[in-house]
Copies of this chain bind each other. A is one copy, B any other.
Amino acid sequence: MVSVKNNDEHMVIFQPSGSRGRVKQGTTIAEASRKLGVELEGVCGGQATCGKCKVRIEDGYFERFGIDSSVEHLSPVEETEKQFFEKHGELEGYRLSCVTEIRGDVLIFVPEESRKGKQVVRKAATDRKIDVNPAVRHYYVEMLPATLEDTTGDWERLGMALEREHGLTGLTIDYLALLTLQETVRKGDWKVTASVWMGKEVVAVQPGRVEKSYGLAVDVGTTTVAAYLCELTSGELVATDSMMNPQVTFGEDVMSRITYAMAHEDGLKRMNDAIIEGLNRLAGQVATQAGIKRRDIVDWTIVGNTAMHHIYMNIYPEYIGKAPFPPALHAPIDVKAREMGLKISPGAYVHALPIEAGFVGADNVGVLIAEEPYKRDDFVLIIDIGTNGELVLGNKEKLISSSCATGPAFEGAHIKFGMRAAPGAIERVQIDPKTAEPRYKVIGKEEWSDVLKDMGARGICGSGIIDVVAQMYVAGLVLRNGRLNTELGHPRMRQGEEGWEYVLAWQDETSIGQDIVVNQSDIRAVQLAKGAMYAGAKLMMRRLGIEKLDRVILAGAFGSYVDSTQAMIMGLFPDCELEKVYAVGNAAGDGARIALLDVDKRRDANKYAREVEYIELAMEDDFEKEFAQAMYFPHMKDKFPHLEGWLPESQAAT
């Protein structure tokens, strides 16, 4: 992306969404954000007083391409803006969007608090039955106070009380818990609650009786990070939140992040710092939601693909990026949260789930223990759709897995009007196959667009993207090969700034002052993503020697909101009985939560992570050919008997 500088137009990129485009000299950042579909908060109407539109100016990105991007590319700070920051505390690199003009190429990071609309956590936790058998348990004890006749040490007193009252023996104590033990014991008047990890180590001591204990399960996706705060005695999910992975500024997919680590001396450190800082923030958010303190969290489980795993563990990811791709370790590992820089209860452990192979990491292990395909008789295909897609195929006899880079299209990135699942996002789309007129549903509104005109639409989220592409194909607006059908002469199909586009929502139905469209490059992004998944599934079926799928489970970023029929129509996976295709939400995150609540499942995770056989798709014969064929809707050659009546008649028979 080497841009030639032009005095009249400048390249602007907004992170973490990745939205980009050229704007005229003198455009304010706020104006540019609206033009590019990045909505910023702002209540003062451009008076530089509310500060809600503040953004951070990044200077790393353009430098990588030898282009100097810095404050000179913006209008200087003027009096009102200066007053705002003086009043509220200077923030290095921050500017107010409403008054700052763009005068050169800039990379802008929109902090969470400046983004309009609270994200609907589409990585929401699914309601699953989970045994409650946590790694950390609370034990209340009444110790015998020290006397002149018995000056036994406080730790020995606590140990004796835990043995006497709860039968616990052979315990050790965390070093930091030891350092504050004497204060704590006296604060509780010799009555304390000890948090014991795995029946082995006292990781925290609190004065008095503390009934509830808390643990955090986290799924670090390439693009989206989800956190689930659970109460460990009841197993109850008490708070959940998500954020963009702050590493997106270093690269949008796993390979670009690995490359970033290798190309920059402090690359790993920067990415690790970013995710750890983000995780601390997220932990603080769920703690606040639950009305507890971050230090009340006494256990933590974490999953992520192999690259995310290595980066959050602070392991240099070079070797997983080049043949023969061995990771530093497959095994699960328990590390003190503090050693990773995570700020919860000082003595708490993080349990990092094991990884499988290739980029099929701990996230997919989470999927395994959530869905337990190793207990099934029928052949199941589990598709975990994220920026890095993972596939598992098999049954209790044998399981194989593979991964492919799908890109973040289904997470709303790399799509012109793509957005996260937040109020204003189009989440459902139907297109009349006869008239090619759409109706859609927006998050936050009860009615569909054919009933309610004031939809306040802002963009399209993952489930909406699947719907709109499948429905455009069914309505003949998109051809099998993915090209927009420009010969229909439909009034919604038009030449836009970036080529042909289909208008999904007219300007007056939106809150962004412009039409929401789907253009050719959006369709291409979807084709690449779904083609990779489909080709992977095909090659895996060949490996196992099976002709048809008994069951397809859709897991991933868009959670349980995806319409499984639309997903099959656009060819995300091979044909399967429609009733046997369903979405389960964020199974990786659920797996992290299951491992948090039930230590036996940690053992399962380790066992099955080893047993699943990994297939390196890129090394399979015909991968390129299969991929090319799978780019078609729903596929160039394969039949879909279960979609009879759903596909356009001209093509269903093909």
A156-B329, A326-B154, A329-B154 in contact; A315/B146 too (CB < 8 A)? no
Q: Tell me which residues across on chain B come within 8 A of A326, comparing CB atoms.
A: 146, 151-154, 157, 182
Q: Compute how far the CA of A175 lies from the CA of B156 in the bound complex, rounded to whole angstroms.
A: 28
Q: Which of A178, A182, A326: most chain B Cβ within 10 A?
A: A326
Which residue in B156, B186, B313 is a CB contact (below 8 Å) of A331? Answer: B156
Determine which of B179, B182, B318 lies in contact with A319 in the assembled complex, contact meaning CB atoms within 8 Å. B182
Do residues B331 and A175 form an inter-chain contact, with CB atoms below 8 A?
no
Counting every copy of the chain, the complex holds: 2
Other-chain contact of A182, B176, B178, B318, B619 (Cβ < 8 Å): B318
Cβ–Cβ contact A148 & B329, under 8 A: no
Report if A524 contacts B (CB, 8 A): no
Q: A146-B326, A156-B329, A330-B156 are in contact. Are A182 and B151 (CB under 8 A)?
A: no
| Closest residue of B by beta carbon distance from A314 | B179
Q: Name the interface residues of A110-146: CB closer than 8 Å to any CB of B.
A: 146
User: What per-residue 1/0 map shows which CB atoms of A168-206 lie under 8 Å from chain B?
Assistant: 000001011011011100100000000000000000000
Verify if A90 is at the interface (C-beta below 8 Å from B).
no
Contacts of A155 in B (CB 8 A): 328-331
A328 partner, pick from B182, B327, B333, beta carbons under 8 A: B182
In angstroms, how far is the closest chain B Cβ from the Cβ of A165?
19
Closest residue of B by beta carbon distance from A151: B326
Question: Contact between A315 and B178 (Cβ–Cβ < 8 Å)?
Answer: yes
In the complex, are the beta carbons of A151 and B328 less than 8 A apart? no
Chain B residues with CB under 8 Å of A333's CB are 173, 175, 178
Bound together, the chains give a CA A176 to CA B181 distance in angstroms of: 27
Chain B nearest CB from A622 CB (Å) reads 18
Chain B min CB distance to A52 (Å): 39
A330, B357: Cα distance in complex, Å = 46
Residue of A150, A181, A182, A314 contacting most chain B CB atoms (<10 Å): A182
Contact with B along A310-332 (1 / 0, CB 8 A): 00011110110001111111110
The verdict on A339 contacting chain B, using a C-beta distance below 8 Å, is yes
Output the least CB separation between A331 and chain B (Å): 6
- Establish whether residues B154 and A323, one from each chain, have CB atoms under 8 Å apart when the complex forms: no
- Residues of B close to A357: CB separation below 8 A: 151
Query: A147 near B: Cβ within 8 Å?
Result: yes
A157 to B316: give the CA distance in the assembly, Å.
18
Interchain CA distance A325-B326 in the complex, whole Å: 55
Instruction: Bin chain A's interface residue count.
Output: 35 or more
Evaluate contact between B183 and A327: CB separation under 8 angstroms: no
A397 to chain B, nearest CB (A): 22
The B-contacting residues of A in range 299-352, CB under 8 angstroms, are 313-316, 318-319, 323-331, 333, 335-336, 339
Per-position 1/0 for A344-369, Cβ under 8 A of B: 00000000000101100000000000
Are A154 and B328 in touch, CB under 8 angstroms?
yes
Interchain CB contact under 8 A, A331 and B153:
yes
Distance A593 CA – B619 CA, assembled complex (angstroms)? 57
Distance from A310 Cβ to chain B, minimum over Cβ atoms (Å): 10
Cβ B153 vs Cβ A329 within 8 A: yes
Residues of B near A330 (CB, < 8 A) are 152-153, 155-156
Can you name the residue of chain B whose Cβ is closest to the Cβ of A616?
Answer: B148
Kindly report which residue of chain B lies nearest to residue A340, judged by CB atoms.
B175
| 5 interchain pairs, CB-CB under 8 A | A155-B330, A156-B330, A179-B314, A182-B328, A186-B319
Interface residues of A (CB under 8 A from B): 146-148, 150-157, 173, 175-176, 178-179, 181-183, 186, 313-316, 318-319, 323-331, 333, 335-336, 339, 355, 357-358, 614, 616, 619
7 tightest A-B CB contacts, nearest first: A155-B329, A146-B326, A153-B330, A153-B329, A148-B324, A153-B327, A151-B326
Q: Beyond the given A148-B325, A154-B328, A155-B331, could you list 15 further A-B residue pairs with CB under 8 A, ordered by the A residue number?
A: A151-B324, A151-B358, A153-B326, A153-B330, A153-B355, A154-B326, A154-B329, A155-B328, A155-B329, A155-B330, A175-B335, A178-B315, A179-B313, A182-B326, A186-B319
